[in-house]
Amino acid sequence: MSADGEGTQETHWFDDEAGPVVRPYAMTRGRTSSTGQHRLDLIAVVVAESRDDDPVADQTLSPEHVDIVGLCQDAPQSVAELATELDLPVGVVRVLIGDLVDDELVHVTRPVPPAELPDESILRDVIDGLRAL
């Protein structure tokens, strides 16, 4: 009760400038991974597929899905760039990108793992051999 005997004052647990609050798991429907289990590194590059239909018109896509496709249509984006641009946790962005890969709206190119790169000594031998010709 307040000092004037009027009952309790309503309090807000969030800032009015924050806008509507949506939990990340609501955007992914409670999922922590997509059905295809796409492994997405932070530097994996997401590219929008060329399509005749407009993904914005697709009623099954969430606004976040549409935002990802829109950003990737302008230019290929890394997973980290998308998370930053959308101001969403990386885990959420990974699930959303996995959904878009499953729907064939985007494709992902992954960097070559260091273990699969050719050994530097082999490259030097090839260069030396070419110089000897």
User: d(Cα 66, Cα 18) in Å, to the nearest integer?
Assistant: 22
Tell me if 100 sits within 8 A of 106, measured CB to CB: yes
Q: 28-68 pLDDT, tens per residue?
A: 655 656 655 467 788 889 998 876 666 556 667 888 888 89
The rounded percent of the chain whose pLDDT value lies above 90 is 10
Output the pLDDT for position 98. 86
> For residue 18, what are the contacts with CB-CB under 8 A and spacing of at least 6?
none
User: d(Cα 25, Cα 47) in Å, to the nearest integer?
Assistant: 24
In DSSP terms, 48 is beta-bridged to 106
Task: Assess whether pLDDT exceeds 50 at residue 1.
Answer: no
Strands (DSSP E) contained in 2-129 are: 45-48, 77-78, 106-109
Q: In 89-126, which positions are buried (b, 16+ CB within 10 angstroms) versus exposed (e)?
A: eeebbbbbbbbbbeeebbebeeeeeeeeeeeeeeeeee
Q: Which helix (H) or strand (E) holds 102?
A: helix 90-102
pLDDT band at residue 131 under the 50/70/90 scheme: very high
Task: Assess whether pLDDT exceeds 50 at residue 87.
Answer: yes
The dihedrals phi and psi of 79, each to the nearest 5 degrees, come to -60, -40
